Amino acid sequence: MHGRAAVVVPDNVLFEGGAGETIRRRLLKEYDVHTLLRLPTGIFYAGGVKANVLFFERKPARPEKAWTEKLWVYDFRTAQHFTLKQNPLTRAHLEDFVQCYRPDEDRSKRVETERFKAYTYEELVARDKANLDITWLRDPSLDDADNLPAPEVLAAEIVEDLQAALEEFAAIAETLQQARGEGPATEAAPVAD
């Protein structure tokens, strides 16, 4: 009770129906879900995985009223491009979020910005399936081909993502082989025609 948590969740947790919707509605009612940080792609090994950090606090039962009053959403995804090696995410990149979040102040002192918007409990539960996958910013690089990263930057990001994926698959293959008692993975022998 009165505990605080920050949980990293993939995008689908924010919008899936069925059990996902049931959990979101319960979470919004029984917990004070106060902040959602939408993370950019390219900061985890699984390339293309879109993740978020959901901040909430546990409160005692209050059946007459939901604990979540406002969910503050910080869009750190739109127009942000990070890679694991060439352009890694650093603490300095999160400074604006920290300033908006105001960790040592009452949340009533928060102020909306271009990237930081508040949504009331009523607005959230009125959305189809209590969908928390909320976006309002547009990525200008997607609208104008002239603003896309240079081809060599895109190519380097693709190579980096593919190399990271290959390293992950190699580690998984080695772990599976070791679990079967086959020893470390080796390169496959050429196949005869």
pLDDT truncated to tens, each residue of the chain (193 aa)? 889 999 999 888 999 999 999 999 999 999 999 999 999 886 765 566 788 999 999 988 888 899 999 999 999 998 888 777 778 889 999 999 999 999 889 999 999 999 999 999 999 999 999 999 998 987 665 555 666 666 776 676 677 667 766 776 777 888 888 888 876 655 555 555 4
Tokens of 73: 């959403």
pLDDT value for 165: 66
Tokens 């005692």 found at: 60
In whole angstroms, give the CA distance from residue 20 to residue 34.
18
Q: What is the pLDDT of residue 104?
A: 87
Indicate the burial class of 39 (C-beta count within 10 angstroms; 0-12, 13-18, 19 or more).
buried
pLDDT of residue 179: 85
What pLDDT is attached to residue 183?
A: 60
Global pTM reads 0.71
Note the pLDDT of residue 2. 87
Question: What pLDDT score was predicted for residue 145?
Answer: 61
Give residue 83's pLDDT: 75
pLDDT of residue 93: 94
Supply the pLDDT for residue 141.
Answer: 55
Tell me, letter by letter, the H, E, C secondary structure of the chain.
Answer: CCCEEEEEEECHHHHCCCHHHHHHHHHHHHEEEEEEEECCCCCCCCCCCCEEEEEEEECCCCCCCCCCCEEEEEECCCCCCCCCCCCCCCHHHHHHHHHHHCCCCCHHHCCCCCCEEEEEHHHHHHCHHHCCCCCCCCCHHHHCHHHCCCHHHHHHHHHHHHHHHHHHHHHHHHHHHHHCCCCCCCCCCCCCC
CB 131 within 8 A of CB 123: no
Nearest in space to 17 (alpha carbons), one of 132, 136, 135? 132
